[in-house]
Amino acid sequence: MAPSHSLSRRQFCGTVLASAVSVNAQKRAAVLHAPTEWSFESGKQYTDPFNDVELDVVFISPSGRNLRVPAFWAGESTWRVRFAPQETGHYSFTTVCTDTANRDLHGRTGPLDVGLYTGSNALYAHGLVQVSEDRRHFQHADGTPFFWLADTWWMGLTTRLSWPDGFQTLTADRVAKGFTVAQIVAGLYPDMPPFDPRGANEAGLAWQTDFARINPAYFDMADVRIQHLADRGIVACIVGAWGYFLPIMGVAKMKQHWRYLIARWGAYPVMWCLAGEGTMPYYLSKTHDADIVTQKHGWTELARYVKATDAFAHPITIHPSRSARNCVDDPALIDFDMLQTGHDDRRSAQSTVDTVLHSYHAEPTMPVIVGEVCYEGIQEASREEVQRFMFWAAILSGAAGHTYGANGIWQVNTREKPYGLSPHGHSWGDTPWEVAYQLPGSGQLGLAKKLLARYRWWKLESKPDLIEPHWTDQNYWQPFAARVPGELMIAFAPVSWKALLFKGVSAGMNAFFWNPTDGSERAIGPVTPDGAGNWQAPEFPIIRDWVLVLESATARTGMVK
């Protein structure tokens, strides 16, 4: 039986908003960067409160900034506001309701006192994730670089990934491996028609039939999962809907959906993904070409709306069929370019490298992230060596991080109930998520991130001709290379048939081979370049993929823990 709207979240998990936050309705005290919440009760009754009333809360910060934050309808006659202060000191707030005659909701004022966060969670200690000043990578509010290593849990807010056991097991595994982001869809899912029961959680579906109104209890159940991610240091990349829902629901209804997401989770350490496969029509659409146009224009309008509504200015993107830049009329409306580059095993190498490079050099400048490529195990292919290639090829070509996915996790197959058929009549596979999360690729990408974290990875410059041989558009399975000038040279050799020649090598560097399967190292020792700055590396230890690192004596001093 589904819990009641007003108590469901607490009945379900027995916790308050966030363990890092002290929430007190009387004192209204909060800590820097962490979400806090309180509620407003309306004595006036509404026939359809979700559609009849909107409530905002305007916060004035200690420095005088005005922040207008949407509140959300929590069911019955309750509205809640969530706020993450970005300054310490004394705030004041005023409520603004569309029903100005309702004195319970309109014109309410009060204080909020904000102290420092003293815990160890990096998401609260360093602040919300944003785009860096050079628009090449992500960083926290205090300037600490943030490495995007994401996993793909499209249907992770449904009961297909059980709470608490399944969700907490998967989260703990990804945290242990070094993942920092989970891509997760907020109720309007891919690979299914609207109101498919596979999209339900413990409280049902996200919307009532015919999209009449939101179901707050669904989002109560989602809250505990989003909160759990944040408490474990994982940023949720919230995908608002799959793209084809826009012509089904219409722009006005989709704005309601997005306003609700912002009100629920804008105070959390999240990023926004407007839609999945934003311009892809529904699988069985009979108006394919018209839908593409409708969706591109519509998601452009939604991008403007989300930017205007989100007081916390979380980075925005859209999951594409190829590049997020192509899914909106104005690429300047998105903050980072998310790419999808294929599921064709080794044949996806060319599209991945070409698309990363095209985006990296395109205007406007923005961080580049491969958001979907070659789910491990999909079509009985794309095994761990392909996962390693896609990671290193993307990072050494200029990407700001990388996204992993496993067939079985994105749709959350269970042993008892595989996902089943997509609307097009085919099944992507029935590997249970309990098996898929242990596939070796996820751990190996975690090791790769751990290696890069020794250095100032955010300063890496793609430099293919740093080495010979290197990849070309005739052969994408030759080595890749990048550098941090004067500090680091790093090369990835997909197949180590020929020893590498490094160019422009500084004296005083040290070299080692790094095994991308297990993270083990084989020392080479001091590097002695010739008079032209060239250094011939020794033969690779065995024929397989390798990473070869040249580091200066001070290369690790700038690392971020």
Q: pLDDT tens for residues 313-325? A: 999 999 999 999 9
Query: Which whole number is the average pLDDT over 471-482?
Result: 96
Q: Which tens digit of pLDDT belongs to each residue from 328-356?
A: 999 999 999 999 999 999 999 999 999 99
pLDDT value at residue 497: 86
Query: Which whole number is the average pLDDT over 487-496?
Result: 96
The reply to whether CATH 2.60.40.10 applies to domain 21-118 is: yes
Q: Is 191 helix (H, G, I), strand (E, B) or coil?
A: coil
Q: Which tens digit of pLDDT belongs to each residue from 124-173?
A: 999 999 999 999 999 999 999 999 999 999 999 999 999 999 999 999 99
Query: Could you identify the residue written with the tokens 């740093």?
Result: 466
Query: Which whole number is the average pLDDT over 480-498?
Result: 95
Q: Over pLDDT 90: what percentage of the chain?
A: 93
- List of E strands, 469-558: 480-484, 488-493, 501-502, 510-514, 521-526, 535-536, 546-551
Mean pLDDT for the chain overall: 94
User: Residue 269 pLDDT > 80, yes or no?
Assistant: yes
pLDDT value at residue 559: 55
Contacts of 347 (CB under 8 A, 6+ apart): none
Q: What backbone torsions phi and psi does residue 173 show, to the nearest 5 degrees?
A: -65, -45
The reply to whether CATH 3.20.20.80 applies to domain 123-453 is: yes
H helix or E strand, kind and range, residue 214: none
DSSP 263-299: HHHTTSSEEEE--BSTTPPPTT-S-HHHHHHHHHHHH
User: Residue 558 pLDDT > 80, yes or no?
Assistant: no
Q: Which tens digit of pLDDT belongs to each residue from 429-450?
A: 999 999 999 999 999 999 999 9
CA distances from 123 to 32, 229, 460 (A): 11, 11, 24
Give the other-Cβ count within 10 Å of 458's Cβ: 19
List the single range of 24-28, 133-137, 544-548 with lowest mean pLDDT. 24-28
Q: Which tens digit of pLDDT belongs to each residue from 177-187?
A: 999 999 999 99
User: Residue 506 pLDDT > 60, yes or no?
Assistant: yes
Q: Which tens digit of pLDDT belongs to each residue from 36-73?
A: 999 999 999 999 999 999 999 999 999 999 999 999 99
CA distances from 103 to 32, 41, 43, 80, 99 (A): 30, 10, 9, 16, 9
User: Residue 101 pLDDT > 50, yes or no?
Assistant: yes
With beta carbons less than 8 A apart as the criterion, state whether 83 and 92 touch.
no
With beta carbons less than 8 A apart as the criterion, state whether 517 and 484 touch.
no
pLDDT value at residue 546: 98
With beta carbons less than 8 A apart as the criterion, state whether 297 and 333 touch.
no
CATH 2.60.40.10 intervals, the chain: 21-118
Query: Which whole number is the average pLDDT over 535-544?
Result: 96
Tell whether pTM > 0.75.
Answer: yes
pLDDT value at residue 21: 36
